[in-house]
Chain A
Amino acid sequence: MEMGTLLHAVLEDFYANRRNPMQALKCLENEFEKSPLALEPLYRRTYLLEQARRTLEIFLRSEKEASGNGFTPAHFELAFGKKRDGTPAKLSSLKLGKGSVLVNGFIDRVDVSPDGGSALVIDYKLSERPLKKKVDDGLEVQLPLYLMAVRDLLGLEPAGGELRFLKTGTKAALKSEELKGLLEATETRVLDAARRIRSGDIAVKSKSCQYCHFSPVCRFEPWKLIYSEVDKHG
């Protein structure tokens, strides 16, 4: 977790201030000193910093190779609704369902097309994870929400959404032909979830417990998910 945050900060600085890789490494060291990782024993700090340095190196190299689609990085850590420190952001919240639900968020990076009309939303993830399955299962809401945000708040046409994996320098993209349907489906899903919560329905109906740390609180045992899958297939 901490490693991801750290690298996010370095990448924001890198793009926003048009740094070179050497400066990025310097920035990494500075950020490292500020992070909770610096409280670890010396040996762990030493090798973790080395691992972070390698990750950054791989990622920047892959970014360099990947550039050439014409889109240029334009926004970094783009906050809408509220900034990370809780103060109001320049952009307002994303309004769904005629304003019945407001969504706040931070977008790692938005690349804009040469004509300035459409946007590619990019989210950094530390390690690789499957995107397609999540989209198929209806669990991917982050990228679609970001795309709605750039559409409604920046007036840019959604051109695509990507996860970029820092450790491997690889990426996973939403299918452009599915984009429109996905945005609509996501809005419905979010509104539905909001309605359920507002009606007091907070029963645990998880579809995935993979990245959730709250299992001790919700007391839902993830192996039970198998049975919902069995039922789905009849």
Chain B
Amino acid sequence: MAKVFALSKEQAAVVKSFGAELGVSAGAGSGKTTVLVERYLEAIVKKGAWPEEILAVTFTDKAANVMKERLRMRCGERGLYEVARRLDGAWIGTIHSFCSRFLKENPVECGVDPLFTQLGRGEQEVLMEEVMDRLFEEEASSGLCMDLLADAGEEAVREALKSFYDKQRSYAGGEDLLRIDDAAVLYAESEAVLKARCKKELAGPAVQNEHEEKLRGALGRLLEVLDGKLRGWERRRGLLGAVAGLTKRSPKTKERVGEFKDLADALAALYVQTLAVPVKQEWRRLIRRFAEAYEKEKRRLGTHDFDDLLYFTYRALSGTTPQLKALKRRTQERFAHVFVDEYQDTSILQDRIIGLLKRPDNLFMVGDVRQSIYRFRHAHPEIFLGALERVRSCELRENYRSRPELLDFVNRVFVERFGEKYAPLVPKRSFKLKKEHCLEWIGVPKEDRRLDPLRVIEARTIAARIRKMVDSGFEVEEGGEVRPARWRDFAILMRKTTASRLYEKELEAFGIPYFVNKGRGFYEQIEVADLVHFLRILEDPSENLATAAVLRSPLVQLSDDALFWLAKKGFNFHEEVAELSEADRGKIKTFLGLHQRLRGQKDRLRVSELLHAVVDETAYEAKLLTRSDGRQASANVWKLIEMASAVEDRNIRSISDFIRYLKSVSDSSETEAEARVLGEEEDVLRILTVHAAKGLEFPIVVLADLGAEDGNTRKPAFLCSPSFGLGARLKDPADYEFCDDASYSVIASEEKRKEEEEDDRLLYVAMTRAKEHLILSGVGIEEPMMPFYSVPIVSVRPKTTAEAPRLIAPPQKADPMLMEEIRLRLSDVEKEYESLEDMSVSRLASFMSPDSEAWKEEPEATPEDADGSTPRNEFGTLFHFLMELSVRHSPRGKLDVDRLASLTEDLTAEEKKEAEEGFRNFWKGPTGLAVKKASKCYPELPFIYKTRHGMLKGQMDLIYRDAKGWVIVDYKTNRLNGPSDEKAAVEAYAPQLGLYALAFWKLYGEIPKKTLLYFMVGDKTVEINWSEKELAALALRVEDGYRKALAF
């Protein structure tokens, strides 16, 4: 949105309209936030309200923050400093945050504990499940309840109990949802109608024809059943049996056969409706018992769940006692204005609360029915539609976001789907660039294959396309400027991110950095599973599968051979297993030690502490970080520990509680995202759900996975709606097949219709996120009919991965690190288990030099040292220590004489002289002088650099920073004989300095200006410089060195 505060005519009309209830239908990109902000200011400036007198309800916390931010900025611009100050106490937030504040301000009237705690979604699930456990136990002798469980299955019954509780509350009580209709009247009427219809048909002239005779026979049998004595299930079977043989094969009888079959089906559903009455009564009793028990439990624990906030607020405001009426009056008087955003997504309960807060003339509602996508949270777009008809209303149709061609396409698609009532968006933003096309279509033909492999083709095509757009400098406009597209200009939107992994993998292969805020998947991540298995065996060491999982995981890294022998002994660690190698024995011993120790403490330590101990003592994080997705993995580990520690404050303390909690949150629809490792602000492409993208906009939008199949086909045990009450499905006791009753089937088809409408709206939201370019993509999606849409669309139909572009050609200046990264990532399918090892710089360097013998860590003790002189390596250590002390000394470069004497007292006179001379020479020389003046300076700096195969450990003798940059110094105490000797030494030591430089670069982010070898004997300084290219090449050699070392 351009930062122009000149309001358009239609915007200004909304901003300035006060004095009556107002509903505004604001199309996508119509500057809704601007209007909200300006109207808020108008209420202050022109109507004399203060921020604390205005209630502004947003849909998300994020939207509330955006609004506050914008208000602050505008107040600053207009010099409204007192208003800006008072914004801190403003009522701008979600309905939940309003209710929370309201309850805490009025605890006595609302009947709540002022110090109530709030249950998270996962904790709510755990508590509900526990209440159900007890409920079912108590019901074990109720035959009806047990039949219910046997029919629908325990899982489905538990699901239904939870969703009914939730739904009833969203209806502000919702007793009408539990209405039981025995349909007795309808039943009798329908039988009469069918009977009359049969008789009429049979009274007509008989036609000599196979199909007609068949039909007449069926109708005769129907009449027999209807006039007969069969009741209940038998009557239903008789009815359906009578028409079972009828087919629609003959065109003459087709229509009538259809009619009679439909009538019989409808009547059969009514029979079930009658039979369902006792089952529904039982169900209603269970729901009520559950609600009561759950609420009692919450009271006992002094805690509320999320929707209690709304429900208690509603209860208080709608109360009829004088005290509560006064509270309602006070609340209404307090707010001069009530603003509600996203009204299309309010639930009945939320609408009721707003209704109790507002005065007759002070409510302002904004929304867009076409963007209502929260049905699963009980949003009812009908509420807003009704309000728009009831109150003064207007429309914002001008779009300040997207290209006219895109809007034209959107308008044409949705006038078709939404029908006449669709108000087309009017393009208002102007663009500098003229584009040949701004719509693309990628349709992978649906063959007789599973969806996932076809998705891979789709994903690869998308990734290749994006890469090409960026590489070829595809232009976008921002703030009136034209610039080449960056990764962050792209967003891939999907309905669900459950399959996003396939898309991520292709992005990785094409070197496209991305950020995905993904639900699900967290608990399936292998690093999370590893730790959970460790917890399991702390709880129950006899869980062999979990034991094997832990042993083979990076936590223990036992060899497969060892695992085989242990499994043979049933993981009986007491038994001697002769076949184990020394290394494996060590690993087992360490593991058993840790396990035993933690098991002893498991009831004293918190789960988070146990996890911490496991991670620390197994160096698990370091091991994870060597994986290509190590950063994500280690972030997930910390997230797990965070979760454990967060729920510990709320009674989920033991291992089994925690595991149950994890399971319940992973099963529930509320999903846990993987930990975030990348900020949203970085230059990365974003993958997000359409829901998460609501309210956002991107220059280029890829609407992917449009061919996704609707995964959830399981029918719930019970359904309900205010118009039809309870609907049930029963099992016919003859064959135990499910039969839907009349209410159930009518509610189910109503739900299906609403779901389809919501799908359309979801598509609308997704398509209107794009500012400049839209790519529609999916498996088996219909190709848009070009002439109809009038705008040019580029379309491709990749059938195989061969047709989908393969990897891009390597860039001109191939980045060796990136290529190595890509190579490794591509090859990690069926990647063999990698062993890891930690190494010192010197050991690694020895594996990296072409001739391993040429280079020695430090001069070794030589036979000539036997003459009473100090071994050369000890002399080296001593000299290093002297240097360290003198660098630490303040000022640098000094050492008091006594200290020097005491340190050198064991040396021979010649050595003493050598050491003292070297020391003095260094500090007199150019390096020493630079060190004295250095702004930063660290002697003996230890470091750990994580490579893919293990950690590289080392210590730099000295590193300092002068005006030009960082310098790494390494002291050498070798005695060199002549220039050829010096040359060999420098060559041999170079990899070591290179590793230091590499490690420093990777850890600190800056390449050292230079590295120096200082040979103290002879006061000789050799400078070695490292370019980025050389260091990148070295990094590859490090991997090589590790491979050699591991093979060694």
Contact = CB atoms under 8 A, between A and B. Distances in A.
A219 interface: yes
Interface in A29-81: 41-44, 46-47, 50-51, 54, 58
B150 interface: yes
A41 B548 contact: no
A221 B453 contact: no
Contact of A42 (B140, B502, B736): B140
A41 B147 contact: no
Interface string B257-296: 0000000000000000000000000000000000000000
Contact of B801 (A213, A228, A230): A230
> What does DSSP make chain A's interface, helix, strand, loop or mixed?
helix
A211 interface: no
B735 A47 contact: no
Nearest to B736: A54
B533 interface: yes
Given A43-B139, A224-B830, A227-B456, A216 B549 contact: yes
A1 interface: no
B802 interface: yes
Contact of A213 (B136, B530, B545, B553): B545
B456 A230 contact: yes
B75 to A, nearest CB: 51
Contacts of A44: 136, 154
Contacts of B449: 229, 233
A224 B826 CA distance: 12
Given A47-B146, A226-B452, A230-B453, A221 B139 contact: no
Nearest to B731: A54
A220 B832 CA distance: 10
The residue in A58, A204, A223, A226 that gathers the most chain B C-beta atoms within 10 A of its C-beta is A226
A216 B139 CA distance: 37
Interface residues of B, number: 40
Interface in B797-845: 800-802, 829-830, 832-833
Interface in A197-234: 202-205, 213-214, 216-221, 223-224, 226-230, 233-234
A93 to B, nearest CB: 20
B676 interface: no
A226 B801 CA distance: 13
Contacts of B149: 43, 47
A30 B833 CA distance: 48
Nearest to B135: A43
Contacts of B455: 226
Contacts of B944: none
Interface string B447-491: 001101101110000000000000000000000000000000000
A233 B139 CA distance: 55
Nearest to A49: B150
Contacts of B736: 54, 58
B673 interface: no
Nearest to A206: B830
A234 B803 CA distance: 10
Contacts of A217: 545, 548-549, 552, 563
Contact of A47 (B133, B154, B800): B154
By CB atoms of chain A within 10 A, which of B140, B449, B529 has the most?
B140
Contacts of A221: 526
Contact of B140 (A43, A203, A205, A218): A43
Contact of A216 (B450, B452, B529, B560): B529
B137 interface: yes
B388 interface: no
A229 B553 contact: no
Contacts of A46: 140, 146
A229 B450 contact: yes
B501 interface: yes
B453 A233 contact: yes
A203 B150 contact: no
A51 B150 contact: yes
Nearest to A231: B801
Nearest to A225: B452
B549 A202 contact: no
Contacts of A226: 452-453, 455-456, 502
Nearest to B563: A217
B67 interface: no
A43 B136 contact: yes
B526 A229 contact: no
B545 A41 contact: no
B451 to A, nearest CB: 10
B802 A234 contact: yes
Contacts of A204: 830
B56 interface: no
A217 B567 CA distance: 12
Contacts of B887: none
B564 to A, nearest CB: 9
A50 B833 CA distance: 47
Contacts of B501: 223
A47 B150 CA distance: 5
A138 B719 CA distance: 43
Nearest to B554: A219
A214 B801 contact: no
A216 B147 contact: no
A203 B830 CA distance: 9
Nearest to B833: A219
Interface string B318-333: 0000000000000000
A25 B798 CA distance: 58
B546 interface: yes
Contacts of B137: 41-43
Contacts of B154: 44, 47
Given A205-B830, A230-B453, A230-B801, A50 B136 contact: no
Given A216-B533, A219-B526, A234-B800, A229 B452 contact: yes
Contacts of B146: 43, 46-47, 50
B833 A227 contact: no
Given A43-B149, A54-B150, A221-B526, A216 B546 contact: yes
A44 B530 CA distance: 31
A58 B452 contact: no
Contacts of A58: 735-736
Nearest to A54: B736
Contacts of B502: 223, 226
A227 B829 contact: yes
Counting chain A CB atoms within 10 Å of each CB, the highest count among B139, B452, B533, B560 belongs to B452
B481 to A, nearest CB: 42
Interface in B541-556: 545-546, 548-549, 552-553
Interface string A73-110: 00000000000000000000000000000000000000
A203 B735 CA distance: 47
22 contacts: A41-B133, A46-B146, A47-B147, A51-B150, A204-B830, A205-B830, A213-B545, A214-B545, A216-B529, A216-B549, A217-B545, A217-B552, A218-B552, A223-B501, A224-B829, A226-B456, A227-B456, A227-B829, A229-B452, A230-B453, A230-B801, A233-B800
Given A47-B149, A203-B830, A217-B552, 18 more contacts: A43-B136, A43-B137, A43-B139, A46-B146, A214-B548, A216-B545, A216-B548, A217-B563, A219-B833, A223-B452, A224-B829, A226-B456, A226-B502, A227-B829, A229-B450, A229-B452, A229-B453, A233-B801
Which A-B residue pairs are the 5 nearest by beta carbons?
Answer: A216-B549, A43-B140, A47-B149, A50-B150, A43-B136
Interface of B: 133, 136-137, 139-140, 146-147, 149-150, 154, 449-450, 452-453, 455-457, 501-502, 526, 529-530, 533, 545-546, 548-549, 552-553, 560, 563, 735-736, 800-802, 829-830, 832-833
Interface of A: 41-44, 46-47, 50-51, 54, 58, 202-205, 213-214, 216-221, 223-224, 226-230, 233-234
